[in-house]
Amino acid sequence: MSDSEISDEDNTENFIENPTRELLAEGLLSLFTPIVENLDSKVKQTVLVQLNINAQLDILSSVIKDQINKQNKQDTSEFDIALRNLNAIKSKVTVITNVLHSSSSKFIVSNIMETPSYSHLTSNDYNHVYEPAEDTFLLIDALEQDLSSIQASKPLLTLEIGSGSGIVISALAKYLTHQTHGFYAVDINNYACNATKRTAIANNVNVETINMDMLTAFKYNSIDLLIFNPPYVPTSTSLSTCEDKEPRATVEQEKFYDIEADTIFVKDNQEKMLIKSWAGGDDDGCQVINRVLGELDNILAPNGVFYLLLIKDNNPEKIRKRLKSFGYNSIQIIDRKIRGEHLLVLKIFKNLL
């Protein structure tokens, strides 16, 4: 069979098997996604305007009805006509609103943040690096829930403190690839930096990893989006700093961690880093958290946002009051109860008024 005799079916089959098809699809998606998102945003704004008009018409209609009741002995024909006209306008606004809602549902780009692959990490890695757990996935869920806001803010520099396995920062990098972003991850544990880099590579995203304590090397007020799943378990100070020869949890936490203690509390310096990934020290487990909060004015950009994971034992209301005294708003955007813990995520941002 000559080339000219190849059927349409054969051409279709060749196209399906052609690896460039996926590249073409990705290219088209990256081309249309910003346009659709912009359209979706404008549709939502229009819907809000329409709803506001509807509410104002309801108020005006109510006022006219009150006036009619007060004019019982007078000719109310003019009021009746005005009321009918308002009701007609209200009906039209309602129809427009319904149409816009319907159109919006067709154009909305799904805000689903895919959990990155981390099957490349082994049990040996988890001897040195915090293994993804319920708190990790709750933080991803919180970011996913607030994706519309994150996209609207268009952060230029996104950073995670204590990235561990790297799946949280990689999840954001996977979703926000169409924007001009710089993704960074810092961790005091060099094993964690290595794991984060491998997770980023495994998921085809670019995340710069830095082995450092907190954010000591970053320029002041440069972070647009900050993420932190901190060491939050209330423990003795010596446990979180690994100074004792035989670290032990406090009485309140001892039963929960006794089983793990035989394998986690070892003398190797790198494995002591694993303890630091969850041991929050005294002061409601906020020893490390308070370090970050105390430097927040120097960390966040003017419109920067901070997503902080906590447990109820950290006394979140006390933290929120402290943030308020610094001039920050805080909103609890998600929470989840698991065995032995009540997790939550705060969204923290500067008061602009």
pLDDT per residue over 267-298, tens digit each? 445 555 556 555 546 556 678 888 899 999 99
The backbone region for 207, taken as left when phi is positive above 0, alpha when psi lies in -120 to 50, beta otherwise, is: beta
CA distances, 91 to each of 50, 61, 77, 85, 133 (Å)? 12, 12, 21, 10, 51
Q: Are 40 and 101 a contacting pair, CB within 8 Å?
A: no
Q: What is the CATH number of the domain that holds 277?
A: 3.40.50.150
Residues 66 and 131 placed together within one structural domain of the fold: no
| Three-class secondary structure of residue 122 per DSSP | coil
Does residue 15 surpass a pLDDT of 90? no
Asked whether residue 60 is assigned to any structural domain, the reply reads yes
Residues 164 and 299 placed together within one structural domain of the fold: yes
Asked whether residue 346 is assigned to any structural domain, the reply reads yes
Q: Is beta strand 223-228 parallel, antiparallel or unpaired with respect to 208-211?
A: unpaired
Among candidate residues 134, 138, 183, the one with its CA nearest the CA of residue 160? 183
Residues 6+ apart with CB under 8 A from 163: 169, 185, 186, 187, 192, 193, 196, 209
Q: Express as a percent the part of the chain with pLDDT over 70.
A: 56
Q: Are 221 and 299 a contacting pair, CB within 8 Å?
A: yes
Q: How does DSSP classify residue 72?
A: T
Residues 142 and 35 placed together within one structural domain of the fold: no
| Three-class secondary structure of residue 310 per DSSP | strand
Q: Got the DSSP string for 107-121?
A: HPPP---PPPP-TT-
Does residue 229 surpass a pLDDT of 70? yes
Residues 188 and 241 placed together within one structural domain of the fold: yes
Asked whether residue 117 is assigned to any structural domain, the reply reads no
- 58, 74, 107: which is the final residue of a domain? 107
pLDDT for the residue 25: 61
pLDDT for the residue 347: 97
Does residue 345 surpass a pLDDT of 90? yes
Residues 246 and 308 placed together within one structural domain of the fold: yes
Asked whether residue 114 is assigned to any structural domain, the reply reads no
Residues 130 and 255 placed together within one structural domain of the fold: yes
State how many domains the chain has.
Answer: 2
Residues 206 and 278 placed together within one structural domain of the fold: yes
122-164 pLDDT, tens digit each:
999 998 898 999 999 999 999 999 998 998 888 999 999 999 9
Distance spanning both ends of the chain, measured CA to CA = 75
Q: What is the distance between the alpha carbons of residues 168 and 114, in angstroms, rounded to a whole number?
A: 10
Residues 136 and 102 placed together within one structural domain of the fold: no
Residues 130 and 81 placed together within one structural domain of the fold: no
Residues 99 and 131 placed together within one structural domain of the fold: no
Asked whether residue 1 is assigned to any structural domain, the reply reads no
Q: What is the distance between the alpha carbons of residues 249 and 253, in angstroms, rounded to a whole number?
A: 6
- 107, 136, 167: which is the final residue of a domain? 107
Domain that holds residue 47: 20-107
Counts for the chain of helices (H) and strands (E), in that order = 13, 9
The larger pLDDT score, comparing residue 221 to residue 243, is at: 221
Asked whether residue 116 is assigned to any structural domain, the reply reads no
Q: What is the distance between the alpha carbons of residues 91 and 188, in angstroms, rounded to a whole number?
A: 61
Q: Express as a percent the part of the chain with pLDDT over 90.
A: 39
pLDDT for the residue 167: 96
Asked whether residue 115 is assigned to any structural domain, the reply reads no
Asked whether residue 10 is assigned to any structural domain, the reply reads no
Residues 177 and 249 placed together within one structural domain of the fold: yes
- 81, 107, 133: which is the final residue of a domain? 107
Q: What is the distance between the alpha carbons of residues 164 and 15, in angstroms, rounded to a whole number?
A: 41
Residues 206 and 131 placed together within one structural domain of the fold: yes
**Token pair belonging to 119:** 């099957």
Does residue 79 surpass a pLDDT of 50? yes
